Amino acid sequence: MNIISYNVNGIRSAMSKGFLLWLEKLSPDVVCIQETKAQEDQIPALDFKTIGYDCYSFSAKKKGYSGVAIITKLTPKKVTYGMGIKEYDDEGRMIRCDFDDVSVVSVYHPSGTSGQERQDFKMKWLKDFQSYAINIQKEIPNIIFCGDYNICHQAIDIHDPKGNANHSGFLPQERQWIGDFIDSGFIDSFRFLNPNKKDSYSWWSYRFNSRSKNKGWRIDYCMVSKMMKDRIISADILSDVYHSDHCPISLTIK
């Protein structure tokens, strides 16, 4: 199974930049999308259908904001929309597809860059998300949480660790959370296979020509249940793909 995770920063914008043609050419089995910025009737599900994909989406109540989706060639046994907590589900932050022997989640973690109120919301979300993940793992041992976590874990994951030490996305408490989440039973699949690979990022600011200078952050992850450790074949960052300020990441499992 080949899985792609991609914060598209607006599905309609990505479509206008050739996303559909790229998807058809790459032809992964499952695509986890974050930040669709679209209501259900604005998701181009029929376009995906023409190239062999079914689309399941979960939008925020606020128009043009957040939203997640899973695009899949494989037919899920069950689709779950949201975490079951209203304040998060109103923002359209999680969708899960259960397949025969693995469940795949597309998750969009909040950003705290707009101020302390949203940073507090982010930290509350992280606590509740970890509880959700640990509990669901007891029910579904083979589970993968793919998405934009809006956090860099280690200094190797960010172009300027010293300069960003006090910025949301690289705060000590956020980095501690990522470490605790991994320790609770998950594998950062990219770092698992590429423990020392530097200058590998998944998001770049639109400002200051950051992407051309590769001044980026690795904030997108495919977190794999430790039960599936021996099934991880490859994990990559597709930094040459341009539909968004993020790039896609990939995971292949047996």
Concatenating the DSSP letter of every residue in 81-109 gives: ES-S-HHHHTT--EEEEE-SS-EEEEEEP
CA separation for the pair 46, 24 (Å, rounded): 14
Candidate list 88, 108, 149, 201, residue with the active-site label: 108
What is the C-alpha to C-alpha distance for residues 102 and 214, in angstroms, rounded to an integer? Answer: 34
Residue 6 appears among annotated catalytic residues? no
DSSP class per residue in 120-162 = HHHHHHHHHHHHHHHHHHHH-SSEEEEEE-----SGGGBS-TT
Q: 110: closest CA among 58, 157, 148?
A: 148
Cα separation, 50 vs 110, whole angstroms: 32
149: annotated active-site residue: no
Catalytic residue among 53, 56, 132, 148: 148
Handedness of CA 96, 179, 187, 154 (dihedral sign): positive
Count Cβ neighbours within 10 Å for each residue of 51-68 and write b for 16 or more, e otherwise. Answer: eebbbbbbbbeeeeebbb
Please name the amino acid found at residue 66: S
CA 23 to chain centre: 17
Read off the tokens for 76. 């899920």
**Joined tokens for residue 186:** 């998950």
Tell how strand 216-217 and strand 249-253 pair up. Answer: unpaired
Q: Which residues pair with 61 in a beta bridge?
A: none
Instruction: Give the residue numbers annotated as catalytic, written as ranges.
Output: 108, 148
